[in-house]
Amino acid sequence: MWHSARTWQIFAAADAEWLAEALTQSTWCGCNGFALDGYLFANDATSADGAQEYGVLRKEGERYVQIESMTFSWMTPEKGLELIRRVLAGQYDVQRYDFIEPQRIQTPERHGRCHLCR
């Protein structure tokens, strides 16, 4: 992950189709992330004006491990859905790029408003 101190508020995604549409067709705050079937997609973009890069995380012990990074803003919804389905099928589970401490993953209530939400 690019950001060593960023925290994310995680929202539940309805399903893979909704998530693919949301990540490829919208720009989200840098502190937003989405959970689906045990995986987290955490916004790792450098700015709201930049490409929407997402770190793909899964829980491993007490921490989250980053298993992939995907730039959804360069994808069609169909391509995004294909990659999300590959994530959900466990095709990236053996990769390890970074670890995220659990206190950086928050509910929207705990997260409140940060400088990225404004």
Q: What pLDDT, in 10s, does the model give residues 4-62?
A: 778 999 999 999 999 999 999 988 888 899 999 999 999 988 777 778 889 999 988 88
Q: Which of 38, 33, 106, 102 is nearest to 72 (CA)?
A: 33
Separation of first and last alpha carbons in the chain:
22
Residue 53 lies in a domain: yes
For the whole model, what pTM was predicted? Answer: 0.91
- Report the number of distinct structural domains present in the chain: 1
Residue, of 5 and 91, whose pLDDT is higher: 91
> Is residue 3 predicted with pLDDT exceeding 80?
no
Query: What mean pLDDT is reported for the chain?
Result: 89
Q: Which of 23-27, 83-87, 99-103, 106-110 has the lowest mean pLDDT?
A: 106-110
Q: Which of 107, 111, 46, 100 is nearest to 73 (CA)?
A: 46
Q: What is the dihedral of CA 79, 82, 83, 89, to 10 degrees?
A: 180
Residue 36 lies in a domain: yes
Residue 17 lies in a domain: yes
pLDDT, residue 2, reads 60
- The residue range of the domain holding 81 is 8-107
Residue 40 lies in a domain: yes
pLDDT above 90: percentage of residues in the chain:
55
